[in-house]
Amino acid sequence: MAVAVESYVSARGSTADAVADLDAQLSRGGGTPHFAFVFYGQCHDDAVIDGFLRARLPGVPLVGGTSCAGVMSDHGLGGADSLGLLLVHDPDGAYGSAAAPLGDDASDTAQQTLTRALASADAAGELPELIWVYQSPGQEEAVIAGLRRVVGDRCPIIGGSSADDDVSGVWRQMGPDGPMRNGVVVGVLFPSGGVGFGFQGGYEPTGEHGVVTELGDDTGQGVGRHILTIDDAPAAEVYNGWLGGTLPADAMEHGGPILEATTSTPLAVGAGSVEGVTYYQLIHPEAITPQKGLATFAAVERGARVHGMRGNRDHLVTRVGRVVSTAQSSLHVGANDVAGGIVVYCAGCLLAVGDRAPEVADTARQSFGDAPFLGSFTFGEQGTILDRNLHANLMISAVVFGR
């Protein structure tokens, strides 16, 4: 039996109205699914959503959580109060999910959660086709490490870090046991129609680069996310020099957020090369620390070479289409054989494209053709670069399901 995918989005003012709307839409849909993705704007009431999912999709494995400024789908950009569902119908496949608070040892938690997710799919001990993860920002590297203890790089790990609208920390995750504030949700997928994926950034090196010579103490974003010096000079000053002195003077003087100012000019580390062409793992500097270091949303290692990168609004808009096309081509089927998909688009990129955000959804829709999809806007992205599973920033991923 062929795989079928359905997308549902509601943008009613209240959560109660939104779930009632979704309920009505689902009544016209195609039966109980085998896997569900759920994303929603921060304004929504998780408990109401959880109650709706338990009633409407009892026992269905699911992953999801909050998304910055709502969701996008084949219906377009949903808006800040949108709530979206993507349902996968695949009776010949196998799916499972599990969730847990990250706790003190995120790696151990991730490893155990994956094992429980496999068990929930009745696939204990089996290598999945793909792992889809959604988590709280801050410990993504540890989560990836825990998942890799089980699967290594033998299957792709794709996903995102749940987000809110203004980095105020009100992000949440939604799993089969309900909502969490600081947790990880792991989905394991064995689709019978196959699955393809893409994971790309939309930035190019400027030519500036230097070596991370010192890392600072954890600023609260996680280990390895405080670059203290580059080439033995204060990291913020070096970075500001690369940008022609355009970082906010106040932040340079006293420390402070620079998230918005650096969305078009992040850093990156090399993630391998093919035919002499280097591939990059993007790192988003989000603040200057009082020690004139850079606090980042992804970890770097001491001794790593960081590169200055530059983005372009046009590329960030059109890139999502290319990522979807890459995912489709990795599935080795024609466009007509794609059942649907899921997209993760960095909230930082969303900020960078500004008023062109609707074009992002349109571009994705064009690449998906008639197939339904759901997209979330995240504060970190997980995926595979050159067959290595990792966490990065300002990336775009797409997973497509074959029929």
Partner 1 sequence: MNAGHDSTEELREVILAQHRQLDALQREVDDAEVLIQALNALLKLDADAEPFASVFDVLAPLLQFSHALVLVEDDAPDASLRCVAASHPGLVGTAWDRTPIISKAVGGRVIATVPPGTGDAWPPDVVRCGLSPDQPALYLPLGSRDRRGMLMLLRPLGTEGYDRRDITVARKLSLLASHAFATRQANRSEKERRRLHELTKELRSAQDALAYRANYDPLTGLPNRAFFEEQITRATRELAPGQKMALAFIDLDGFKQVNDFYGHDTGDKLLTAVAERLRDHIRDHDILGRISGDEFVLLLNPIADAASVTPIVDRVLDGLREPFHIGPLHLMASASVGLAVFPDHGDDYERLRRNADMAMYSAKNNARGRAAFFEDRIARATTSRARAEQELRRAVADGRFRAVLQPKIDLMTMRVVGFETLARRVGGDGSLGPGADFIELAGDLGLLDQITDIVLDSLLTDLPGLDAAYGDGTSISVNVATGQATDPRRMDAVLARLRGTGRPDRFVVEVTEDALLNADAFRDDVLPLLVDAGVRVSIDDFGTGYAALSRMVDVPADEVKIDRSFVTTVHERARSQVIVRALSTVGHELGSSVVAEGVETVDELRYLVTHTAIRYGQGYLFARPAPAHDLIARRAQLLASLARLERPPRLAVADG
**Residue whose CB is less far from partner 1, 214 or 279:** 279
- Contact between 154 and partner 1 by CB under 8 A: the answer reads yes
Enumerate residues 6+ apart whose C-beta is below 8 A from 22: 8, 10, 52, 56, 83, 85
- Contact between 20 and partner 1 by CB under 8 A: the answer reads no
Contact region with partner 1 (CB under 8 A), list: 20-28, 47-55, 102-110, 145-153: 145-153
Q: Are 42 and 66 in contact (CB under 8 A)?
A: yes
- Contact between 204 and partner 1 by CB under 8 A: the answer reads yes
- Contact between 122 and partner 1 by CB under 8 A: the answer reads yes
- Contact between 151 and partner 1 by CB under 8 A: the answer reads yes
**Residue whose CB is less far from partner 1, 287 or 344:** 344
DSSP for 307-374, please give it: EEEEE-HHHHHHHHHHHHHHHHHHTTS-GGGEEEEEEEEEHHHHHHHGGGHHHHHHHHHHHHTTS-EE
Enumerate residues 6+ apart whose C-beta is below 8 A from 28: none
Contact region with partner 1 (CB under 8 A), list: 38-46, 47-55, 118-126, 224-232: 118-126
- Contact between 312 and partner 1 by CB under 8 A: the answer reads yes
Contact region with partner 1 (CB under 8 A), list: 18-26, 117-125, 168-176, 213-221: 117-125
Distances in Å between the Cα of 98 and the Cα atoms of 94, 116, 257, 304 are 14, 6, 34, 34
Enumerate residues 6+ apart whose C-beta is below 8 A from 2: 193, 339, 403
DSSP for 10-34, please give it: E--SSHHHHHHHHHHHHHTS-S--S
CB of 131 to partner 1, least distance (A): 11
**Residue whose CB is less far from partner 1, 86 or 385:** 385
Structure tokens at 224: 């390895």
- Contact between 124 and partner 1 by CB under 8 A: the answer reads yes
Binding residue for partner 1, selected from 127, 170, 251, 335, defined by CB under 8 A: 127
What is the distance between the alpha carbons of residues 42 and 277, in angstroms, rounded to a whole number?
40
Structure tokens at 68: 């910055």
What is the distance between the alpha carbons of residues 102 and 133, in angstroms, rounded to a whole number?
13
Residues numbered 231 to 290 that lie near partner 1 (CB under 8 A) are: 244, 274-275, 277, 279
- Contact between 315 and partner 1 by CB under 8 A: the answer reads yes
Enter the DSSP assignment of 226.
E
CB of 54 to partner 1, least distance (A): 27
**Residue whose CB is less far from partner 1, 12 or 149:** 149
Distances in Å between the Cα of 249 and the Cα atoms of 232, 235, 246, 260, 355 are 22, 15, 8, 14, 26
**Residue whose CB is less far from partner 1, 127 or 333:** 127
**Residue whose CB is less far from partner 1, 169 or 272:** 272
What is the distance between the alpha carbons of residues 20 and 25, in angstroms, rounded to a whole number?
9
Neighbour-count burial for 50-81, b at 16+ CB within 10 Å, e otherwise: bebbeebbeebbbbbbbbbbbbbbbbebbeeb
Binding footprint of partner 1, residue count (CB under 8 A):
38
**Residue whose CB is less far from partner 1, 84 or 321:** 321
Site string for partner 1, 320-359 (x = CB under 8 A): --x---x--xx-----------------------------
Binding residue for partner 1, selected from 25, 32, 115, 213, defined by CB under 8 A: 115
What is the distance between the alpha carbons of residues 307 and 269, in angstroms, rounded to a whole number?
6
**Residue whose CB is less far from partner 1, 42 or 200:** 200
**Residue whose CB is less far from partner 1, 20 or 243:** 243
**Residue whose CB is less far from partner 1, 73 or 192:** 192
Contact region with partner 1 (CB under 8 A), list: 5-13, 168-176, 198-206, 374-382: 198-206
Enumerate residues 6+ apart whose C-beta is below 8 A from 14: none
Q: Which residues bind partner 1 (CB under 8 A)?
A: 115, 118, 122, 124-127, 129, 149-155, 200-207, 244, 274-275, 277, 279, 310, 312, 314-315, 319, 322, 326, 329-330, 386
